[in-house]
């Protein structure tokens, strides 16, 4: 009896410190901002604002201009996520599969190189790639011109058809190191005996990948998908660094993250008067959608034991 009571007490001690920081410095401000979404924008913060109930949400989903921006950003963010899954995460799995082969030489060197873009400040990444993609003096433009393919040089970042894909590819370039690292960890955990047994049974390299290695890292795939999903829906920096907070050109690179920043934090350039109530409504709506998505993905990728 005594042991059980003592046992419960110590568990509390394990949980409380983390809960404290999290509840005070994250949960409370975020809950406060959800509360803020029920208030109008005008007037100073705090007592000055008036309670408007769900007006902000109604405006967000039905007012033609506002909802056009919201659903536009929503669609763009899904497309951004799709490109990231296809490029960033597929490349990450491919690299991890290659690097985790026991007999692969130089694995550490490759791993470090793959990780270097992650360490760069996004401002610098944006600037460097803008330089490379520049239609006047960019590296790609120069190479294509030398190969007599000048017609292929397009102002990619200024064309509504290509801008979002370009930005998404740059984002993949930057972040591929993180999922690669996570997949690598998962693959390393696969016991050698399993793979050797398969080899003795005559499995090919591809067979081993498809029937053993990939299925065993299904939970990691799930984690990575969720993290990509959540990060993309909050993505802001890469668009800000390569285009601007408006999601130029013509809002084609406008993501939920940039929309939120533009509406709720910085306000429209150059006036800069934000609408925290509407911004919070955007954030809260996004949060609900994300929760639904995450729970769904978690369900689909429960670990195989």
Partner 1 sequence: MGKKLTVLTALALCLTMALPLAAGGSKDAAKKGSSGTVLTMGSWRADDVAGWTALLAEYKKATGVEIQFKPTNPPDYNATLRLQLESGTGPDLMFARSYDTGIDLFKNGYFADVSAIKGLKENFSEGNRAPWTTADGKAFAIPLFAVIQSVYYNKDIFAANGISVPKTWEEFLAACDKLKKAGITPIANGLADEWDINECFMMGILPNFVGGYKGRLEYETGKRAFNDANMVKAFQAMADLAKYCPDGYEAIGYNDSNALFATGKAAMYADGSWSLDTFKDMGANWGNFAFPAPAGAKAAICFHADAGLTMNAATKHPAEAKAFLEWLCTPEGATVAARYLPNGFYPMISANIKIEDAHSAELYGLIQGKDQDVRFCWPKLMSGDPSGYVLMNQGVIKAMKGQITAKQAADDFAAGLAKWYKPN
Partner 2 sequence: MKSSPSLKWQNRHLGSHITLSLWALVVLFPIWTMIVNSFKFKLDIYKDPFGLPKKWNFDSYGSVFRDSDFFMYFRNSLAVTVGSIILVLVLGSLASYAIVNWKNRQTRFIYLFFIAGMMLPLKIGSIKLLEMVKALGLLNSIWALFPIYIAMGLPIAVFVLTQFITDIPYELTEASVIDGASRLRIYAQIIIPMIQPALATVGIYNLVPFWNDLWFPLIFINNEESKTLLLGVTRLFGQYQTDWSKVLAVLTLSAIPVILLYLTMSRQFIKGLTAGAVKG
43 contact choice in partner 2, partner 1, none (CB below 5 to 8 Å, kind-dependent): partner 1
Q: Which of 40, 134, 234, 301 binds partner 1 (CB under 8 A)?
A: 134
183 contact choice in partner 2, partner 1, none (CB below 5 to 8 Å, kind-dependent): none
243 contact choice in partner 1, partner 2, none (CB below 5 to 8 Å, kind-dependent): partner 1
- Residues 43 to 102: which contact partner 1 by CB under 8 A? 43-45, 48, 65-66
Residue 132 or 248 with smaller CB distance to partner 2: 132
Pull the structure tokens for residue 185: 């960890």
Q: Using the rule CB under 8 A, give the single segment among 92-100, 112-120, 184-192, 261-269 that binds partner 1.
A: 261-269
Residue 231 binding partner 1, by CB under 8 A: no
Return d(Cα 142, Cα 133) in angstroms, integer: 10
Q: What is the 3-state secondary structure (H, E, C) of 153-183?
A: CCCHHHCCCCHHHHHHHHHHHHHCHHHHHHH
Q: Angle at which helices 163-175 and 64-83 pack, to 10 degrees?
A: 50
- Each residue 272-291 as x (binds partner 1 by CB under 8 A) or -, in order, gives xxx-----------------
Return d(Cα 224, Cα 84) in angstroms, integer: 11
Q: Which residues of 257-277 are buried (b: 16+ CB within 10 A; e: fewer)?
A: bbbbbbbbebbeeeeeebbbb
Residue 223 binding partner 2, by CB under 8 A: yes
Residue 17 binding partner 2, by CB under 8 A: yes
Asked whether the beta carbons of 113 and 183 are under 8 A apart, the reply is no
Q: How far is CA 176 from CA 165, 168, 226, 233, in A?
A: 16, 12, 15, 17
For partner 1, the binding residues (CB under 8 A) are: 43-45, 48, 65-66, 130, 133-136, 141, 153-159, 243-246, 248-250, 265-274
């Amino acid at each position: 009896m005594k042991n059980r009571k003592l046992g419960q007490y110590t568990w509390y001690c394990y949980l409380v410190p983390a809960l404290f920081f999290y509840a005070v410095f994250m949960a409370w401000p975020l809950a406060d901002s959800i509360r803020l979404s029920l208030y109008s924008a005008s007037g100073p913060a705090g007592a000055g604002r008036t309670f408007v109930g769900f007006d902000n949400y109604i405006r967000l989903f039905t007012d033609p201009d506002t909802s056009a921006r919201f659903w536009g950003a929503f669609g763009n963010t899904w497309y951004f996520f799709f490109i990231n899954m296809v490029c960033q995460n597929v490349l990450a799995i491919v690299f991890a599969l290659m690097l985790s082969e026991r007999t692969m030489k130089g694995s550490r060197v490759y791993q470090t190189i793959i990780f270097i873009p992650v360490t760069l400040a996004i401002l610098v990444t944006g600037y460097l790639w803008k330089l490379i993609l520049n239609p006047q003096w960019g590296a790609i433009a120069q190479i294509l011109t030398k190969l007599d393919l000048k017609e292929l040089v397009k102002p990619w970042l200024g064309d509504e058809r290509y801008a979002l894909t370009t930005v998404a590819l740059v984002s993949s370039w930057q972040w591929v190191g993180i999922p690669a690292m996570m997949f690598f960890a998962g693959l390393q955990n696969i016991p050698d005996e399993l793979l050797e047994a398969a080899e003795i049974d005559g499995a090919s390299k591809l067979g081993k990948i498809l029937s053993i290695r990939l299925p065993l890292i299904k939970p990691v795939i799930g984690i990575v998908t969720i993290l990509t999903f959540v990060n993309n829906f909050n993505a802001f920096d890469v668009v800000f660094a390569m285009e601007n907070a408006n999601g130029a050109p013509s809002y084609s690179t406008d993501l939920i993250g940039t929309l939120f920043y533009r509406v709720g934090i910085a306000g429209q350039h150059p006036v800069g008067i934000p609408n925290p109530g509407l911004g919070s409504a955007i954030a809260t709506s996004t949060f609900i959608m994300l929760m639904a998505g995450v729970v769904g993905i978690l369900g689909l990728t429960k670990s195989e034991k």
